[in-house]
Structure 1
Amino acid sequence: MPAIRARRLFDGRELLGERVVHVTDGKINAVTVDGPADLDLGDVTLLPGLIDCHVHLVFDAGADPVGRLRESSDEEVLDRMREEAARTVAAGVTTVRDLGDRGYLALRLAEKLGVTEGPEILASGPPITTTGGHCWFLGGQADGVEGVRAAVRERAERGVHVVKMMVTGGEMTPGTFSHLRQYGLAELCAAVEEAHAHGLPIAAHAHAGEGIADALAAGFDTIEHCSFMTEHAAEHDETIIARLAASDVIVSLTAGIVPTGEPPPPGVAKRMPGIIAAVRALQAAGVAFVIGSDAGIGPGKPHGVLPYGARMLVDLGYAPLDVLRSVTSRAARACRVADRKGRIMQGYDADLVAVSGDPLADISVLQRPSAVFRMGRRLR
């Protein structure tokens, strides 16, 4: 089986010098400083395969992803999802957490997808939302304490890897609003309790400050977006941010946009200065974060966009080393796969990506992978 040499190695925590990674049956069985190699990648940095903590494979990243989904049969959607999965892994993203699909399609794809066809998919199924709430059209409507408990149980029985709940409204669903809460604290606590009773992590979609505070109080494992949107702007709350920093919760920053020349949706554009200020405030407070790109929701969010999210955060003042950890070892912890993903060390899955140059000096090299391995098999 292959031994892979690289000039530098980021092991998921630190950047090291030249190393040889030995792979057997899809697993890393040793990492050595020297010795023979079957494949010398030259002047590259070898990293753990990147982990995107928030994608939507059912959305095609087109101008109207919701409309196209509504018009498509499950089989048509699955075919597109397979194509998006291939595009994702080619970008060096070898694990994704799919936080919202229709009819458990991402779970179906995860069960069928071959190792060489795409990333490992950790799926939530349809997100739990109120009747007529954000993304209701995905089929996850549930109301009241008993309703959300039943919804969580259904997902556990279907074999999901994570539960997703829409704590606030969102920008993709007319009639819902990002700055307003959808559930009361009793429903949120019930969902968290039920998910944890089934051994599942639970992620909260939360834009508004009150929704973020409620998700934190209820005990959600990750909080997605955390943008502090108000009706017309975005205004972060230092008290809530301090509580986040003091907690065990991980904030999933939905960063990353591929330049398209088209402006963002008006509701996002007018709030963008405040959102950027909130992202910087989270970093200044030391809040634990990962990157969930929200891939699929529009033209600026194609599948595989995660490396652009890394560049965005570095441009906003985040330390490159911390950003690299956020898309590898810390992301693996958030996704509950830290025992086999996100590190280059003995016993871990041989999901690897090589980039030319040093990502600590120029994080944008993540956008141009020169080699990608999935369970030890080279895909590019």
Structure 2
Amino acid sequence: MNKVLITADRVIVGPSDQVTVDGAVLVESGKVAVVGAASDLEAAVEAGVPRLRYPGATVMPGMTDCHVHLAFDAGRDPIGAVAKADPAELSTAMADRAAQMLAAGVTTVRDLGDRDALTVALRASIDSGAKVGPRIIAATAPLTSPGGHCGFLGGEVSTEDDIRAQIARNVAAGADLIKVMASGGALTPGGPRMWEAQFTPGQLRLIVQEAERHGLGVAAHAHGSQTIAHCVAAGVRTIEHCSWRTAMGIVHDPTVVRHMVENDVSVCRCVSGDWRQFLDQMGPERAKEMVAVILEMREAGVRFIAGTDAGVPGAHFGDYVGMLEFFASLGFTHPEILDMATVNAAHALRLADTGALAPGRRADLIIVDGDPLTDLDALRRIRHVFTAGRPVSGSRETLADSRERD
């Protein structure tokens, strides 16, 4: 479909405070050509161009999940599922998970750790049209300390030469960014604890410098309060988790938060759809402390971006909206939340061609029943998904159904 005019009750242009009521989007050759009032575009666009009309619906930019692991299966033993899997079978499973995300309205995913650069191969298959899936931004093997968090993915380093060599290997494999496990994590038995540093401040600076030398940014997995400070000082682009943990509990540093804002460091809290159970497991006092820190960062102006950590235990690939509902429960407004999933995510990932519906940008867009600016559950009522202007098969209704509404 080279050219199509899509009309709906509203078009969220992006940011989410920019809405065209009774709006339309003209898609041409995989890109957004024009956005405007439906009456104007209906009159201006040639009669032979297909019209897709969606009464009661909203057209908006496709959403981004800034933190996924397509190689993981969301089961109880993700390490075993990755480390022991046959490469061909794992590749097939990853393609299925990517398709699940696209069907949920996620048109871009940032994969922050896989095995054998399998995400790069999947990215190529999707880009060529051989497979259907979201746009993939791939980190390949994350850098970690020997025996450290997610060392089973093949990115263990100890010396400065190791760091340079691993980054070079990732670049050669086709990485779009570098991921560093700056602190420990809960997923890897026997590794450093979540608040313990895996790299020195000097090593973190080297990682950022080497990545920049190759034209890449750095995403840092960082739970520990001191590690978060070191990552911000080193110049990473995003902090993943950012839970401000110490051996004594949650302790955040307002000075570091201010530096995040000043240096345009975005935060991906990595919240999955099972967040209610997670809060229960934390206990009321720790949960209250965690929420308070998030709200203080928000008040300070930290840019939050949407990410589910899909693939780790309990974080399922089809439940993107559950993560957004966590932020709604904290009092984030719906426009704020939609921006986390669209324009803020695109800014943090340095994607100038997506995140909003504007002339010249990729036609990554979704059509949902209702108005997500007032009802986040509308994001579960996906009617159509377009990726680079291509309609995704398996949407809730066919394109013919939409034309019949004329």
What TM-score bracket applies, with the shorter chain setting the length?
Answer: over 0.9
Select the residue among 282, 285, 289 that pairs with 2:304.
289
Task: Give the equivalent residue in structure 2 for 1:306.
Answer: 320
Secondary structure at the aligned position of 1:41 is classed as strand
Select the residue among 131, 151, 154 that pairs with 1:136.
151
Q: Which amino acid aligns with 2:327?
A: L
**What does residue range 92-103 of structure 1 map to in structure 2 within 5 Å?**
92-103=105-116
Tell me, in whole angstroms, the C-alpha distance in 2 between the residues paired with 1:226 and 1:164: 14
When residues 29 and 372 of structure 1 are mapped into structure 2, their CA distance, relative to the original with a 3 A threshold, is same
Secondary structure at the aligned position of 2:55 is classed as coil
Task: Give the equivalent residue in structure 2 for 1:19.
Answer: 23
**What does residue range 24-35 of structure 1 map to in structure 2 within 5 Å?**
24-33=28-37, 34=39, 35=41
1:64 deviation in Å? 1.8
Tell me, in whole angstroms, the C-alpha distance in 2 between the residues paired with 1:133 and 1:270: 29
Q: Which amino acid aligns with 2:10?
A: R
Tell me, in whole angstroms, the C-alpha distance in 2 between the residues paired with 1:88 and 1:227: 26
Does 1:117 pair with 2:132?
A: yes
**TM-score, normalised via structure 2 length:** 0.88
Task: Give the equivalent residue in structure 1 for 2:189.
Answer: 174
Please say which structure displays the higher CA radius of gyration.
Answer: 2
CA contact (8 A) 1:133 1:169 kept: yes
Aligned length: 377
Task: Give the equivalent residue in structure 2 for 1:127.
Answer: 142
User: After alignment, is 208-217 or 114-123 more displaced?
Assistant: 114-123
Identity %: 36
Deviations 1:288-327, CA, capped at 9 Å, x for gaps = 111121111012x111333222221121122221221111
When residues 120 and 9 of structure 1 are mapped into structure 2, their CA distance, relative to the original with a 3 A threshold, is same
Secondary structure at the aligned position of 1:284 is classed as helix
Task: Give the equivalent residue in structure 2 for 1:256.
Answer: 272
Secondary structure at the aligned position of 2:288 is classed as helix
Q: What is the Cα-based RMSD across aligned positions, in Å?
A: 2.0
Does 1:188 pair with 2:201?
A: no
Q: Which runs of 5+ in 2 are unaligned?
A: 43-49, 396-406
1:11 deviation in Å? 1.1
Does 1:350 pair with 2:355?
A: no
1:269 deviation in Å? 9.1
User: After alignment, is 349-358 or 113-122 more displaced?
Assistant: 113-122
Task: Give the equivalent residue in structure 2 for 1:328.
Answer: 342
Deviations 1:245-267, CA, capped at 9 Å, x for gaps = 232111112123147x9667967
1:163 deviation in Å? 0.6
Q: Which runs of 4+ in 1 moved over 3 A?
A: 261-273
Select the residue among 30, 46, 54 that pairs with 2:67.
54
Deviations 1:2-50, CA, capped at 9 Å, x for gaps = 1100111111212231211111121111113123361001111111110
Tell me, in whole angstroms, the C-alpha distance in 2 between the residues paired with 1:110 and 1:151: 21
Q: Which amino acid aligns with 2:253?
A: D
Q: Which runs of 5+ in 1 are unaligned?
A: none
Tell me, in whole angstroms, the C-alpha distance in 2 between the residues paired with 1:126 and 1:265: 32
